A and B are shown apart, each in its own frame.
Chain A
Amino acid sequence: MTIDLKTVKHISKLARISIEEEKAKKLAGDLNSIFDFIEKLNELKTDKVEPLASIAKTTLKLRSDEIKSQNIREQILKNSPEDNKDFFVVPKVVE
């Protein structure tokens, strides 16, 4: 399994991280050595094995339908990069 430059570019698009050409080349190299290492798992036969869903022998705890969180708009927007007291503001999407 080799990871080429095209794949690196595709993955970086999915991950929304821009990568310059030079850095992408180095990254492809790093990823390839990491994947060589990961490929070791192919040695194991796991067809009949159940994936590990959770460590503990417990099931999802259910919460009652109560409203506990109040209006904390100020807190929510406090760390926002733009200065707007009602909304989050982002550059427009290009459709």
Chain B
Amino acid sequence: MTDVLNLTLVELVEKIKKKDLSSKEITKAYVERSEKSKKLNTYITEDFKNALKKADNFDNSPDFDKKLPGIPIAVKDLFCTKNLRTTAGSKILENFVPTYESTVTNNIWNEGAILLGKLNCDEFAMGSSNETSFFGNVQSPIGEKLVPGGSSGGSASALAAKLTPTTIGTDTGGSIRQPASFTGTVGLKPTYGSCSRYGIVAFASSLDQAGPMTRDVKDCALLFGVISSYDNKDSTSINFKRKNYLKELSKSMKGKKIGIPKEYRLKDMPKEIEKLWQKGIAIAKDSGAEIVDVSLPNTNYALPTYYIVAPAEASSNLARYDGVKYGFRANGKNLIDMYEKTRSEGFGNEVKRRIMIGTYVLSSGYYDAYYLKAQKVRRLIKNDFDEVYKKVDAILTPSTPSSAFKIGEKTDDPVSMYLNDIFTVPINLAGLPAISIPAGHDEKGYPLGLQIIGKAFDEQNILNIAYSLEQEIKFKNKMNDWWM
């Protein structure tokens, strides 16, 4: 592997600014490696020719004041990219070409970056293993036939396999943090409202957030600073003062109070997960942090709450995929027949399952018992965090209850698949920020992640804590490029 591919995003930016590397050199390296890595099935749409052209253009008239000058980046296929096919991993958008750009990706291109292509994901972001995509499963570079996690599986896999120097994903119930944990990479789900949802194919509106997926915490801080912005085209976007997250990154743990929630200690939790957690706690303590035992009493109700709220919102958000205005349309003898066939053929099984759940929990007679109840429990979950944050600055937990599993291992049992999100889901329900950093390996040698949860809009703090732990842990992904 050439040196270029081993540089972090921050290092690449430095090298470009110093003219040690050209955009063309970097882009070419990534394009070549990507072309040799089709087995991983990380790309749905490649835009390599255009990327190389754009790289040339950049080199001809470079702007070194940008934050991502000439950097090639591939993004999750949930972000609408102007004039480049955007599918959301679904047949129903198989040939959809947006005439507009999402705000988050627009922010990235405005800072000089170049689009490499669109990365595979679970259909409509519904999944935890990237096994529900119409465009086929993604394999993890960690090991053959391993899932990369999901729904941002293509992003995590491409990132870990070094097919893109950095990337962005979306996280509704853990879709950035869980694949980050499975692939030994860093993933941040920001505070709800800090990154615009405009132009992102919607799954569950009150939970979706775009976020950076990177090789290390510094890269994460840089990329977060680029994508986070107030957008008046998104009514849920929050106007708060954004920091220079990279500049203010600091390792100091002195005086920080880290909460350890007892409810995250699952019954029958694998020993390796507990070991990892203890390792994280010890490092934090040694670095000067105060460890505080805390309680988040309603943690166990988070997953059931999520599996009411998310499908309910999704069932409504996906109603627009009806074959009328864009996307796949099946032949029907009348309008209703057309709708039913289009949506039956256009959506995969997991999506259909969730639409059914969502439709049911909102339906007449059930709204109070399910959706309204879930929104009330959501408040209880948020209140738990508010209480705990009176005593601590951040919370430390494992990211996932296991390492990556094999493709096909959990596809028969939807509930066992849902349990993957047990540590990540409460954070989305409460709208808080959380970052997953790789912290160790299990017996099989697969990566495991630790999650740092912060207060709302306090990304700087969790980035700092993550940075501090990362520097101590010195995690290295054990990869052998098995697919090449």
- What's the interface size class on A, roughly? 35 or more
For A51, the chain B residues whose CB sits under 8 A away are: 372, 375-376, 378-379
Q: Which parts of B369-400 form the interface with A (CB within 8 Å)? A: 370, 372-380, 382
For B338, the chain A residues whose CB sits under 8 A away are: 90-91
For A91, the chain B residues whose CB sits under 8 A away are: 332-335, 337-338
For B339, the chain A residues whose CB sits under 8 A away are: 16
In contact, B99 and A34 (Cβ under 8 angstroms): no
Cβ of A67 within 8 Å of any chain B Cβ, yes or no, is no
Cβ of B356 within 8 Å of any chain A Cβ, yes or no, is yes
Given A41-B374, A60-B235, A91-B337, does the pair A31, B325 have CB atoms closer than 8 Å? no
In contact, A17 and B307 (Cβ under 8 angstroms): no
Q: Which parts of A40-95 form the interface with B (CB within 8 Å)? A: 40-41, 43-44, 46, 49-56, 58, 60-61, 63, 72, 75-76, 78-81, 88, 90-94
For A56, the chain B residues whose CB sits under 8 A away are: 192-193, 236, 238, 431, 456
For B456, the chain A residues whose CB sits under 8 A away are: 55-56
**CA A49 to CA B325, docked complex, whole Å:** 41
Given A3-B360, A12-B356, A41-B373, does the pair A79, B379 have CB atoms closer than 8 Å? no
A-side residues, CB < 8 A to B, are 3, 7-8, 11-12, 14-19, 27, 30-31, 33-35, 37-41, 43-44, 46, 49-56, 58, 60-61, 63, 72, 75-76, 78-81, 88, 90-94
Given A51-B376, A52-B375, A55-B456, does the pair A11, B363 have CB atoms closer than 8 Å? yes
For B353, the chain A residues whose CB sits under 8 A away are: 27, 30-31, 34
Closest A residue to B300 by CB, please name it: A40
In contact, B301 and A44 (Cβ under 8 angstroms): yes
Cβ of B418 within 8 Å of any chain A Cβ, yes or no, is yes
Q: Bits for B340-382, please: 1 = Cβ < 8 Å to A, else 0.
A: 1101100100001101110111010000001011111111101
Cβ of B482 within 8 Å of any chain A Cβ, yes or no, is no
In contact, B356 and A18 (Cβ under 8 angstroms): no
**CA A8 to CA B352, docked complex, whole Å:** 12
Q: Which parts of B293-341 form the interface with A (CB within 8 Å)? A: 298, 300-301, 303-305, 307-308, 315, 319, 322-329, 332-341
**CA A15 to CA B372, docked complex, whole Å:** 20
Given A34-B307, A93-B335, does the pair A88, B370 have CB atoms closer than 8 Å? no
Cβ of B430 within 8 Å of any chain A Cβ, yes or no, is yes
Closest A residue to B305 by CB, please name it: A41
**CA A93 to CA B370, docked complex, whole Å:** 33
Query: Would you give the shortest CB distance from B103 to chain A, in whole angstroms?
Result: 15
Query: Would you give the shortest CB distance from A9 to chain B, in whole angstroms?
Result: 11
Number of A-B contacts defined by CB within 8 Å: 160
Which of B99, B376, B415, B430 meets A55, CB within 8 Å? Answer: B430
Cβ of B206 within 8 Å of any chain A Cβ, yes or no, is yes
Given A33-B414, A93-B335, does the pair A79, B360 have CB atoms closer than 8 Å? no
Given A56-B192, A88-B325, does the pair A11, B377 have CB atoms closer than 8 Å? no
Query: Would you give the shortest CB distance from A7 to chain B, in whole angstroms?
Result: 8
**CA A61 to CA B238, docked complex, whole Å:** 10
**CA A39 to CA B307, docked complex, whole Å:** 11
Q: Bits for B156-171, please: 1 = Cβ < 8 Å to A, else 0.
A: 0000000000000000
A selection of 5 A-B contacts at a CB cut-off of 8 Å is A11-B363, A17-B343, A51-B372, A72-B99, A81-B323
In contact, B326 and A80 (Cβ under 8 angstroms): yes
Given A51-B372, A51-B375, does the pair A34, B380 have CB atoms closer than 8 Å? no
**CA A16 to CA B336, docked complex, whole Å:** 7
For A81, the chain B residues whose CB sits under 8 A away are: 323, 326-329
**CA A76 to CA B98, docked complex, whole Å:** 10
For B192, the chain A residues whose CB sits under 8 A away are: 55-56
In contact, A55 and B305 (Cβ under 8 angstroms): no
**CA A43 to CA B377, docked complex, whole Å:** 11
For A18, the chain B residues whose CB sits under 8 A away are: 340-341, 343-344
Cβ of B471 within 8 Å of any chain A Cβ, yes or no, is no
Given A30-B353, A33-B414, A44-B298, 4 additional A-B pairs, CB 8 A: A41-B301, A53-B375, A56-B193, A79-B327
Cβ of B405 within 8 Å of any chain A Cβ, yes or no, is no
For B376, the chain A residues whose CB sits under 8 A away are: 46, 49-52
Cβ of B291 within 8 Å of any chain A Cβ, yes or no, is no
Cβ of B97 within 8 Å of any chain A Cβ, yes or no, is yes
Given A18-B344, A56-B192, A92-B335, does the pair A41, B360 have CB atoms closer than 8 Å? no
In contact, B304 and A38 (Cβ under 8 angstroms): yes
In contact, B352 and A17 (Cβ under 8 angstroms): yes
Query: Would you give the shortest CB distance from A58 to chain B, in whole angstroms?
Result: 6
**CA A92 to CA B324, docked complex, whole Å:** 12
Which of B206, B343, B414 meets A15, CB within 8 Å? Answer: B343
In contact, A27 and B356 (Cβ under 8 angstroms): yes
Which of A7, A27, A46, A54 meets B380, CB within 8 Å? Answer: A46
Closest A residue to B306 by CB, please name it: A38
Which of A11, A33, A40, A76 meets B356, CB within 8 Å? Answer: A11
**CA A72 to CA B183, docked complex, whole Å:** 43
In contact, A49 and B379 (Cβ under 8 angstroms): yes
Query: Would you give the shortest CB distance from B196 to chain A, in whole angstroms?
Result: 13
Given A46-B373, A80-B325, does the pair A19, B344 have CB atoms closer than 8 Å? yes
